[in-house]
Structure formats: C-alpha cells, structure tokens
Amino acid sequence: MALLDIRNLTVAFDTSVGLFKAVDGIDVSVDAREVLAIVGESGSGKSVAMLAVMGLLPASATVTADKMEFEGKNLMAMTAQQKRRIIGKDIAMIFQEPVASLNPCFTIGFQIEEVLSRHMGLNGRAARDRAIELLQLVGIKDGADRLGAFPHQMSGGQCQRVMIAMAIACSPKLLIADEPTTALDVTIQKQILDLLVKLQADTGMGLIMITHDMGVVAETADRVIVQYKGHKMEEADVLTLFENPASNYTRALLSALPENAVGDRLPTVADYNFAHDLGAGQ
C-alpha cells in the first residue's frame, strides 16, 4: 500500500474571471522509503497539489479528488480535528523561504519545543533535550546555545536546518519539501540536500521534493513527476527521465539547463512543441 495515494486531484481557484484550474486531474503516489520529485515551472501547480494535501489552501480554492488517502485513511472525509493529528506529525512540510517561515518573535528553541509539546506531549526538560538532539541531527552542533537564538540571528542555511528540525521533530512518515534550497547558495544547497537524503535514508520516511531545478532532481530523486500548467506531462524513474525523456516538455526542460547548451544559444521551452503532450495528458 502506498503511503500517500492521490487519484484525479483537481484544485480550482475562484477568480474574478471564473474558475481557474491550478491542478487538473493529477495522480500522485509515494511509498515509504521513496524520494519522489515533482518538477515544473512556476504556475505548474506543483506546490498547490501538495498544499491541498496539507489543507493549507485559502478558502477560495476548491479541492476535489477521487481518492486522497494517507496510510489507507481518507483525508477528504476527516474532520479538521482528526486532520490536525496527522498534519504536522505524520506529514510534515518545509517551505522555500526559511527565514519567512519561522516566527521572528520567538526563539527557535520555543518554536521547536512547541511542536514537541503539541504533538508528542513533551514538556520542560524533556522537550528541551529533544530539541537539542534534533538540532544536532540537522547539523547544528552547539544546539544548547542556539535554542535561545532568534531567527534573525541565524543565516538562511541555519534557518532551513531549524525548519527541517521542526519538520522531523515527530518522526514524520512523509516529508514534503517545497523548493527547500531555492533561496540558498550552492554550497549550502548541497549540505541541505545531503541532509534531507540522509535523514530520509536513516528514518525510512517518504520524501516529496518539489523543485524547478533539474539538478536537484538528479541529485535526490528515485522517481519523478513532471508537471506543466496543472497537468502531469510525464512520470518516470529518475534514470529513464534523464536518459530517455518521453515527453517533449521534459526534453525542453532538460535542454534549457545551461550545461546542456549546444553551441551559442540555449534552447528555451518555447522552441519545443508539446501541445500534443498536453492533449494526451487530459
């Protein structure tokens, strides 16, 4: 049984010019111990699909799906209270802007301990010790000293580590990482990606990487879903995708990588015709 199994997910937003379908009939499934990458440009609906799972979409969004199950439990039929027990505990998410996702008014220690007390019932000394342990796990060595630090006193990479520590605080079964390294430098990106992959391998959780960077996909994923304008263009294991992409859109994305430049010009997505693929996906 898949850890997360979604069939025919559609997310529509109510706008002044009518209904806009950000995600249109997408199937996603992830197994435990698997790294799934969802790739696409901005506007492809890659984040929206996962926000729908987390229940983080604004009220103007309508979510429909034939099936949305986590460990066999139907997420669509749950009450908000039941869902809160899963979200943040068994399914955790980290976001693109680490500095913006932390509350600037509280110390990082308070914010990590809050998660522990809410979901694990840990308080006081026990929560503090676990928080230090978590910081150590994500590579912040002087955890005991850093608990009293505010987000603005830490670098972007450090903040992302704190976010990861909060996300894995309750040993989630599924971690969704939404562009976790886009705001970071290459050297820090490498450290964070290595950390995520290591944590995933050690704990056996499922990991969904949402990204627009083909390099990140190549470095982390087992399986890849390519999305464009709310449609799934292709789903393949990572090697097949890079070696022998089935859709023209994937080919276009790969050739837009500067290291794949042929001659003097970079091919852009507009140079490829993939209207056919889009039609086939519908």
Q: Does 94 bind another protein (CB under 8 A)?
A: no
Q: Does 41 bind another protein (CB under 8 A)?
A: yes
Rounded Cα distance, 178 and 211, in Å: 7
- What minimum distance in Å lies between the beta carbon of 210 and another protein? 13
Q: Does 253 bind another protein (CB under 8 A)?
A: yes
Q: Does 270 bind another protein (CB under 8 A)?
A: yes
Q: Does 275 bind another protein (CB under 8 A)?
A: no
Q: Does 31 bind another protein (CB under 8 A)?
A: no
Rounded Cα distance, 52 and 33, in Å: 22
- What minimum distance in Å lies between the beta carbon of 61 and another protein? 22
Q: Would you say 144 or 188 has its CB closer to another protein?
A: 188
Q: Does 282 bind another protein (CB under 8 A)?
A: no
Q: Figure out which of the listed residues 217, 225, 226, 233 binds another protein, where binding follows CB under 8 A.
A: 217
Q: Would you say 85 or 198 has its CB closer to another protein?
A: 198
Q: Figure out which of the listed residues 54, 99, 126, 218 binds another protein, where binding follows CB under 8 A.
A: 218
- What minimum distance in Å lies between the beta carbon of 33 and another protein? 8
Q: Figure out which of the listed residues 6, 26, 75, 216 binds another protein, where binding follows CB under 8 A.
A: 216
Give the number of C-alpha atoms closer than 13 A to the C-alpha of residue 245, restricted to the C-beta side.
18
Rounded Cα distance, 136 and 248, in Å: 44
Residue 169 dihedral angles phi and psi, to the nearest 5°: -55, -35
Q: Would you say 122 or 221 has its CB closer to another protein?
A: 221
In sequence order, which residues have a C-beta less than 8 Å from that of residue 150 and are 6 or more positions away? 104, 106, 107, 108
Q: Which stretch binds another protein (CB under 8 A): 3-11, 123-131, 168-176, 206-214?
A: 206-214
Q: Does 262 bind another protein (CB under 8 A)?
A: no
What residues line the site for another protein (CB under 8 A)? 41-42, 156, 185-190, 193, 201, 212-219, 222, 238-239, 242-243, 252-254, 256-259, 261, 264-270
